[in-house]
Chains A and B, each alone.
Chain A
Amino acid sequence: MSGDAQARPAGQTPAPLLALRQVSKSFGAVEALVAVDLEVHAHEVVALVGDNGAGKSTLAKVVAGVLTPDAGLVELDGETVQVPTPSAAHALGIATVFQDLALCENLDVTANLFLGRERMAGGLLAEGEMETQTRATLDALNARIPSVRTPLAQLSAGQRQSVAIARTLIGSPRLVVLDEPTAALSVVQTAEVLMHIERLRDLGLGVVLISHNMNDVRAVADRIVVLRHGRNNGTFDAASASYESIIAAITGASHAGARG
């Protein structure tokens, strides 16, 4: 790995939390991902940027276990793992918030947080325990939800995004993947979601933030990975890289050059 804008030289740190090695995925003749590399460490927000159709969401779905890669390896803590289903991803400590909100509007906040992993007591739902934990999780994110029993249909778009992010924290994950979490949000709501992302990092999680909003990315990301036409096209240190150089990598005005 000898990229010109590499922020974290390989070998200096322990094995990354998540590493994708030469991952490829095609849909028929369309090459969505071609030999993509990605590393995410704990306590780190890695932004995955790129134009529409660059393969960001496909990459997120590979990590989340929704799609299986055609080639390449997924490594967690340096060990190769298989992620065939969303449940498998969750069992490995990978939680994902998908672009189209994966929430049920007819259910309340608690029911959504625990959907698919309900707590039981004596054969019935342990509502009390789930409510307590929902409240604790929302507090950990500083999320502002009036009641953990409010149906989702009565919440604003920003509050729903808070619930979606809080959902990822159920079951103590190590890695959270957020696919366009600030799309369609107001300025205030966006600020709140970015604050949640920083909280996730403070909690010691690795975060993959997929976005094409440069302001959001530069506000919270530690490292910025650019995808173009399903290929790596540069990795930047968010603190030092210039806006222009990132845009150039996204649009293809600059190329990553020879990469290992």
Chain B
Amino acid sequence: MTAVATPQQTKGPQQPSPVAGLKELVTRNMRTSGIYIAFVAIVALFAVLTGGLSLSPRNVTSLVLQYSYILILAIGMVIVIVAGHIDLSVGSVVALTGAIAAILVIQDGRPWWVGAVAALAVGLAIGAWQGFWVAYVGVPAFIVTLAGMLLFRGLTLIVLDNISLSPFGQPYTNVAGGFLNGLLGGNGFDAFTLIIAAIAVVGYAYSQLRARQGRIRYQQTVEAMPLFVVKILAVAAVVMWFAWQLAHERGLPIVLIILAVLIIAYSVVTTRTVFGRHVYAIGGNLAAAQLSGVKVKRVNFWIFVNMGFLAALAGVVFSSRSNGAQPAAGQMFELDAIAACFIGGASVSGGIGRVGGAMVGGLIMAVMSNGMSLMGVNQSWQSVVKGLVLLLAVAYDIYNKRRASAGR
């Protein structure tokens, strides 16, 4: 009972029959919703395994704080991957930008925002540097960013003179550790957090309803109305529960606000702007994009500038959270971000992938790491499990694609 409003497919000799349309709908839904189902299953699994500890207010809050920078990186990374590139340097960029901020704030005693702005500026410059080599010289992104990984790690060591700097102190650490709490009061909980979450839920429901109406107008398949309502209610319940947990702990984390703004902004950029459309075109068929007049070099350049900016933002958040800069900061971050994209449904060959998917992919990684840590599983086994999950996720994606092309 998933499909109604099957389009009028009487025209044309090549139309799939309504039955095939139903099958198609089911498989496509499996492809796009499979990730969400997997996410819920993993959350439930760890809730059981940890005896509910993983869902406690404190743990939910720390989960957000602990993995926010991976999610920020994954937003940029999914755009890079959709365009058919890869970025291996983001971990080193996180370290370098954090180090720059630390030098300015801790060593030179400048205000917190000077450090943050300088870090972002350096991130933009790094992005322009890598974008130049990828877009205008034509060196594959894998090589450019592999070089960048070494280059920026080396620069981090030079900037920090091989030692750790700490602590940043209050204003700077609020970026990753601050909360908005008690703005509107509340009896033992933060009403502000709940109101923000309620606004988010209403906005989500409204945008989903509009999208659904749009699909109906163009005679595309949509899920049945009861199913649609159930979906909205499920999302609303999860969001409100999440807000409830936050409200009973320390309120709304500032970093969560940053993350939410980024997710909404980049969802719009990727789906509703010319730049986003061209990113998908370049990843889907480079030659076609070129012949169609897409300015491929310029788009590729800005993709990397954007990645540099987000890596710097992640650098600020990470250094804020760790309250200092270490020469070894950010190691393996690039792999976590890349894994988040692929688990979230991005295609290895480019052209396919969504910001929302990458976020869920990142959360799956986060919940797994966090859950296993709560259970006392050691790092080595966590690594083994995460590796297997990544492998299975991409294998599932390839299996799906092969089945789709065979069915055509």
Question: Which residues of chain A in 82-135 are interfacial with respect to chain B, using CB atoms and an 8 Å cutoff?
Answer: 85-87, 90, 96, 98, 100-107, 111, 115-118, 120, 123-125, 127, 131
Nearest chain A residue, comparing its CB with the CB of B268: A124
Binds B, one of A40-48, A140-148, A214-222, A237-245: A140-148
Chain A contact residues: over half helix, strand or loop, or mixed? loop
Contact B281 A115 (CB under 8 A): yes
Question: Which residues of chain B in 244-294 are interfacial with respect to chain A, using CB atoms and an 8 Å cutoff?
Answer: 268, 272-274, 277, 280-281, 283-285, 287-294
Residue of A85, A90, A118, A188 near B13 (CB, 8 A) is A188
**A96 — which chain B residues lie within 8 A by C-beta?**
291
B402 close to A (CB within 8 Å): no
Known interface pairs A106-B284, A123-B273, A158-B14; A146-B7 also in contact (CB < 8 Å): yes
Number of A-B contacts defined by CB within 8 Å: 100
**B13 — which chain A residues lie within 8 A by C-beta?**
144, 188
**B291 — which chain A residues lie within 8 A by C-beta?**
66, 86, 96, 98, 102
Binds B, one of A19-27, A149-157, A228-236: A149-157
Contact B218 A115 (CB under 8 A): no
- Cα–Cα, bound, A155→B268 (Å): 27
Contact A147 B284 (CB under 8 A): no
Q: How far is the CB of A64 from chain B (nearest CB, A)?
A: 8
A159 close to B (CB within 8 Å): yes
Residue of B24, B218, B292, B408 near A147 (CB, 8 A) is B218
Contact A103 B285 (CB under 8 A): yes
Known interface pairs A90-B293, A104-B280; A148-B287 also in contact (CB < 8 Å): no
Known interface pairs A118-B277, A154-B408; A159-B14 also in contact (CB < 8 Å): yes
**B24 — which chain A residues lie within 8 A by C-beta?**
154
Nearest chain A residue, comparing its CB with the CB of B16: A154
Known interface pairs A154-B408, A156-B14, A158-B14; A149-B293 also in contact (CB < 8 Å): no
Q: How far is the CB of B220 from chain A (nearest CB, A)?
A: 5
B9 close to A (CB within 8 Å): yes
Q: How far is the CB of A247 from chain B (nearest CB, A)?
A: 32
Question: Which residues of chain B in 1-44 are interfacial with respect to chain A, using CB atoms and an 8 Å cutoff?
Answer: 7, 9, 11-15, 24
B403 close to A (CB within 8 Å): no
Contact A104 B218 (CB under 8 A): no
B231 close to A (CB within 8 Å): no
Residue of A153, A156, A158, A159 near B404 (CB, 8 A) is A153
B58 close to A (CB within 8 Å): no
Contact B273 A147 (CB under 8 A): no
Residue of B7, B273, B283, B352 near A125 (CB, 8 A) is B273
**B218 — which chain A residues lie within 8 A by C-beta?**
131, 147-149
B57 close to A (CB within 8 Å): no
Question: Which residues of chain B in 53-87 are interfacial with respect to chain A, using CB atoms and an 8 Å cutoff?
Answer: none
**A156 — which chain B residues lie within 8 A by C-beta?**
14, 408
Residue of B12, B284, B293 near A116 (CB, 8 A) is B293
Contact indicator per residue, chain B 334-357, by CB within 8 Å of chain A (1) or not (0): 000000000000000001100000
- Cα–Cα, bound, A105→B287 (Å): 12
B residues at A contact (CB < 8 Å): 7, 9, 11-15, 24, 215, 218-220, 268, 272-274, 277, 280-281, 283-285, 287-294, 351-352, 404-405, 408
Contact A144 B220 (CB under 8 A): no
The 10 closest A-B pairs by CB, nearest first: A144-B12, A116-B293, A116-B292, A104-B284, A106-B284, A106-B351, A156-B14, A102-B288, A87-B293, A115-B292
Contact A102 B292 (CB under 8 A): yes
Interface contacts beyond A104-B288, A125-B272: sample of 8 additional A-B pairs, CB < 8 Å, sorted by A: A85-B293, A102-B291, A106-B280, A106-B352, A115-B281, A153-B408, A156-B14, A188-B13
- Cα–Cα, bound, A148→B9 (Å): 13
**B287 — which chain A residues lie within 8 A by C-beta?**
100, 102
**A106 — which chain B residues lie within 8 A by C-beta?**
280, 283-285, 351-352
**A98 — which chain B residues lie within 8 A by C-beta?**
291
- Cα–Cα, bound, A127→B9 (Å): 23
- Cα–Cα, bound, A219→B189 (Å): 78
A-B contact pairs, 11 of them (CB 8 A): A104-B288, A104-B351, A105-B285, A111-B277, A115-B277, A115-B289, A117-B293, A125-B274, A127-B272, A146-B12, A146-B15
Q: How far is the CB of B166 from chain A (nearest CB, A)?
A: 42
Contact A107 B284 (CB under 8 A): yes
Q: How far is the CB of B231 from chain A (nearest CB, A)?
A: 20
- Cα–Cα, bound, A111→B276 (Å): 11
- Cα–Cα, bound, A213→B60 (Å): 67
Q: How far is the CB of B253 from chain A (nearest CB, A)?
A: 30
Contact B7 A147 (CB under 8 A): yes
Contact B281 A107 (CB under 8 A): yes
